Amino acid sequence: MSLSKKNLKILTTKIQTERERILQGLGEIKAESYFLSDGDRLDEVDQATSEYERSQMLRFRNRNHFYKKKLDKTLAKISEGDYGTCEECDSDIKFERLFARPTAELCISCKDEAEREEKSSFIGSQSKSMSKRVSLVG
Ligand SMILES: [Zn+2]
């Protein structure tokens, strides 16, 4: 890994702070921003709306759990001296990239490639998550 001790320390602190924030967020869910905006809100029965909001909250919670796991994994990597290396091509991930996204596991060029693949299968995954949401609400 090419990170200097100083930079590594900056990133470690950043990750630990993020982790704290997530842990607090898990206890006290701020889901407002995940609700539908007024324009999109369906004029359905209240029951249905609260079901929907519950499922949105659940998604938010799951996402936080997932992110926390990722942060834990990243911290483990740091202590093993394994941090900052691309999992795909073994090249060093730039500090600037890690600073913007401390849990990054891929260098920018591998990430670009992965995103291109993601986009090409976007429509498929989109309709899958739609049907999942429908089944959660119904
Ligand atoms: Zn790479």
pLDDT confidence band for 1 (50 / 70 / 90): low
* HEC secondary structure over the chain: CCCCHHHHHHHHHHHHHHHHHHHHHHHCCCCHHHCCCCCCCCCCCHHHHHHHHHHHHHHHHHHHHHHHHHHHHHHHHHHCCCCCECCCCCCECCHHHHHHCCCCCCCHHHHHHHHHHHHHCHHHHHHHHHHHHHHHHC
Residue 86: pLDDT above 60? yes
**Ion ligand 1 residue ranges (Cβ < 5 Å):** 86, 88-89, 107, 110
Determine the average pLDDT of the residues in 79-83.
93
Residue type, 17: T
Determine the average pLDDT of the residues in 37-43.
51
Cα 60 to ligand 1 centroid, rounded to whole Å: 29
- Domains in the chain: ranges and CATH: 5-137 (1.20.120.910)
Cα 105 to ligand 1 centroid, rounded to whole Å: 9
- Contacts of residue 109, defined as CB under 8 A and 6 or more positions apart, other chains included, come to 89
What pLDDT score was predicted for residue 33?
Answer: 46
Cα 90 to ligand 1 centroid, rounded to whole Å: 6
Q: Is the pTM of this model over 0.85?
A: no
Determine the average pLDDT of the residues in 90-119.
94
What are the φ/ψ torsions at residue 45 (nearest 5 degrees)?
A: -60, 145
What are the φ/ψ torsions at residue 130 (nearest 5 degrees)?
A: -65, -45
Question: What's the whole-number average pLDDT of the chain?
Answer: 81
Residue 36: pLDDT above 80? no
Cα 89 to ligand 1 centroid, rounded to whole Å: 4
Determine the average pLDDT of the residues in 118-122.
79
- Contacts of residue 89, defined as CB under 8 A and 6 or more positions apart, other chains included, come to 107, 109, 110
Cα 14 to ligand 1 centroid, rounded to whole Å: 23
